[in-house]
Amino acid sequence: MTQKELGYVELEWTCKRCGTINPGMKRVCTNCGAPIGQDDKFELPDQQELIKDQEKLEEAKKGPSIQCPYCNVLNSADAKICIQCGGDIQEGLTRQAGEVLGAYKADTVPDKPCPFCNQPVKANAQRCPNCGGSLVETAKPTATQSKAQKTPIWLIVAGIALGVLCIASIITFIVLNNRTNDVTARVADRSWQLSIEILEKQPVQKSNWSEDVPSDAQDVSCEDKYKETSSEPAPNSVEVCGTPYTVDQGSGAGMVVQDCEYQIYASYCDYTVLDWAVVDTVVAQGRDNNPVWPVITLQSGQQEGDRNEQYHVTFAADGETYTYTPDDLSEYSQFDTGSEWILSINTFGEIKEMQSK
């Protein structure tokens, strides 16, 4: 993530002595003259405006203020002696900084009527410009936390019941799958099938990033497509930013920032290349004990592809038939037609074990 700086806003603080809400960069209360307490925090005002005044901006950027150890008044980060009492502030407390105070609200808060003369005044005005009445509010009530909702009991019961049902059906399946009974069966039929693929170079449609398209590709058509996300700015990318938020600078001002990432686009192409493709499959099959691979004749430009072997054995017992698929020729060759076997058959009619009789 790249953190983009959008500017600075002045925060506010509430005077503990008289309850007045003061602009963040006011060193003492506008009403009673008390300084901000060491534990009092700067907060986000409802009305947030990016600071445009150059001098104020310089002050905001200086970083955490230092609280005078003698009179508690805040001083600029680079101050040596207190602006209020002249005391040495080397030992003073540096204000906390870096806390995220909340989302930055760029929308202006609508004007509100003055409680004395009813004329509309700016939401953050300290004093009515019309009648001169004080518009300083007292501290805002803290928001009450909403309680997490409890999960209803019937939902818990239903969940447990569902879990029990699941386990029961798994156990039932395992039992039925493993419960077998032995039958004597005869090999009624068996068959083998051996096949070889014939390959030939054919035009094949493919897609890839343009740098990976082979040089002999034809009918290449490309368009930009999302490839990856970078945390740093990159060429041919779209910047995607989150909601701006304000970070306490400890100077009475907050820095408005935005976390951004960069969705990089690159050229992605469809193209045609010649590649080996299956054009034919030559098959040999039989029911005897001597499977042989089919004879293939390759034309020019052809080559042999995958070889594939399949074996099937059918058992008959008491009017039922059971099918078995041997893995390879050596297993297949044990099942002479007419030979007798003892099969362990499970509830689903599958052969679990077998033994020559």
Min CB(82)–Zn ion separation in Å: 3
3-state secondary structure of 87: coil
The candidate with the shortest Cα–Cα distance to 33, out of 72, 77, 62, is 72
32 binds Zn ion (CB under 5 A): yes
Min CB(32)–Zn ion separation in Å: 3
Among 9, 10, 20, 124, binds Zn ion (CB under 5 A): 20
Nearer to Zn ion among residue 71 and residue 266 (C-beta): 71
Among 9, 82, 187, 253, binds Zn ion (CB under 5 A): 82
114 binds Zn ion (CB under 5 A): yes
15 binds Zn ion (CB under 5 A): yes
The candidate with the shortest Cα–Cα distance to 12, out of 34, 36, 32, 31, is 36
Beta bridge partners of 245: 103, 257
Residues 117-136 as x/- pattern, contact with Zn ion by CB under 5 A: x----------x-xx-x---
Interacting stretch for Zn ion, rule CB under 5 A, among 8-16, 144-152, 184-192, 279-287?
8-16
- Residues 14, 76: Cα–Cα separation, whole Å: 20
Instruction: Label the pairing between strands 21-23 and 2-10.
Output: unpaired
Q: Which structure tokens are listed for 30?
A: 């506008």
Nearer to Zn ion among residue 87 and residue 102 (C-beta): 87
Nearer to Zn ion among residue 29 and residue 185 (C-beta): 29
- Residues 246, 252: Cα–Cα separation, whole Å: 12
- Residues 6, 51: Cα–Cα separation, whole Å: 11
Nearer to Zn ion among residue 136 and residue 234 (C-beta): 136
Nearer to Zn ion among residue 75 and residue 246 (C-beta): 75
Interacting stretch for Zn ion, rule CB under 5 A, among 39-47, 115-123, 148-156, 262-270?
115-123
Beta bridge partners of 285: 193
Per DSSP, the residues of 2-65 read: EEEEEEEEE-EEE-TTT--EEETT-SB-TTT-PBPPTTPPPB--SS--B---HHHHHHHHT-S-
Min CB(11)–Zn ion separation in Å: 17
68 binds Zn ion (CB under 5 A): yes
Nearer to Zn ion among residue 56 and residue 127 (C-beta): 127
Q: Which structure tokens are listed for 59?
A: 């002050």
Is residue 263 within 8 Å of residue 226, measured between CB atoms? yes
Nearer to Zn ion among residue 15 and residue 345 (C-beta): 15
Among 71, 123, 241, 296, binds Zn ion (CB under 5 A): 71
84 binds Zn ion (CB under 5 A): yes
Q: Which structure tokens are listed for 329?
A: 């020729």
Task: Report which DSSP code applies to 173.
Answer: H
3-state secondary structure of 227: strand
Interacting stretch for Zn ion, rule CB under 5 A, among 61-69, 164-172, 297-305, 330-338?
61-69
Among 4, 6, 18, 57, binds Zn ion (CB under 5 A): 18
Q: H or E stretch including 226?
A: strand 218-230
| Residues that bind Zn ion in the complex, under the rule CB under 5 A | 15, 17-18, 20, 29, 31-32, 34, 68, 70-71, 73, 82, 84-85, 87, 114, 116-117, 128, 130-131, 133
